Amino acid sequence: MKTSLISAERLKKEVKTTDFLIFDASWYMPTEKRDTRAEYLCGHLPGAKFFDIDGLSSHPNELPHMLAEKGSFEKQLRTLGLKQGQTVVVYDTAGIFSAPRAWWMLKVFGISDVRVLDGGLPAWVATGEELEVGLQPVVEGDVSLISPGREVSGVDAILHNIKYGDRQIIDARGAARFTGEEADPRAGVSPGHIPGSINLPFAKLLTQTGHLRQESELREAFSVVGIDLSRPLTASCGSGVTAAILILALTQLGHNDLNLYDGSWAEWGALPHTEKAQGPA
């Protein structure tokens, strides 16, 4: 099975012989007030381009970083230099946090070989390799995308699932946000969770150094909360970013009936007609 991860040591070797396009896809919650573009300019992997998760998303849209329209995304990826058939590596400065969202965005539009740098920028720095600064020159690419399909879920599909229970819904948010004890950070979004969903905070899938856990540990993490890995799964979170960590982990385990609720709780919690459950699952 082809892995969706690449280690820093392996990237260090393969980058010399493979035509990778490397993206810094760092993103943080707005409350953290991080300027990830400025941080990119101060230091990034050699040759890396900045993948602006918000800028490469749907505009105008009242929901945060929803998938863009195919033509718009294709044009922007070409501007970033992506060539047809090229292997892409995405990373972030946290270890594994926002890079899986970029990985998922590229995969659902038909980019077949996309890998997440396990451990992110800290893992690369730990190999002793230097960083580059400033903007990198770009030669326009020629990539062609396909339209997303069943890998993306929406409100109607979630409402159908609540009624018929075809899929398990996993919520990657922290426990307090899931139960409703903690208010949502976005104005106008109610607390709680999608009825019938199961809480698995994304941090439980990661090591303290920001690497994805080993497969046996991942299986145990899903099993402990009652996830049946033989059944179809839908991932959700606050706004579609950390849900992609669940998708990445499940992909590593060989699961192939997965989708991500792109609007996630930012959409569900703001809609007047959707049921919001509170308390433990």
Residues with catalytic function: 237
DSSP string computed for 150-188: TTEE-HHHHHHHHHH--SEEEE-S-HHHHHTSS--SSTT
Separation CA 166–CA 90 (nearest Å): 32
HSE-up of residue 182 (Cα within 13 Å, Cβ side): 10
Which residues, at least 6 apart from 224, have a Cβ–Cβ distance to it below 8 Å?
A: none
What is the number of H-type helices and E-type strands within the chain? 10, 10
Q: Which helix (H) or strand (E) holds 244?
A: helix 243-252
CA distances from 20 to 1, 13, 81, 244 (A): 20, 12, 11, 22
Question: How many of the other CB atoms lie within 10 Å of CB of 41?
Answer: 15
Residue identified by tokens 């979630």 is 158
Q: Which helix (H) or strand (E) holds 122?
A: helix 120-126
Nearest to 161 by CA among 215, 232, 112, 105: 232
Residue identified by tokens 């929901």 is 63
Question: How many of the other CB atoms lie within 10 Å of CB of 187?
Answer: 6
CB 210 within 8 A of CB 96: yes
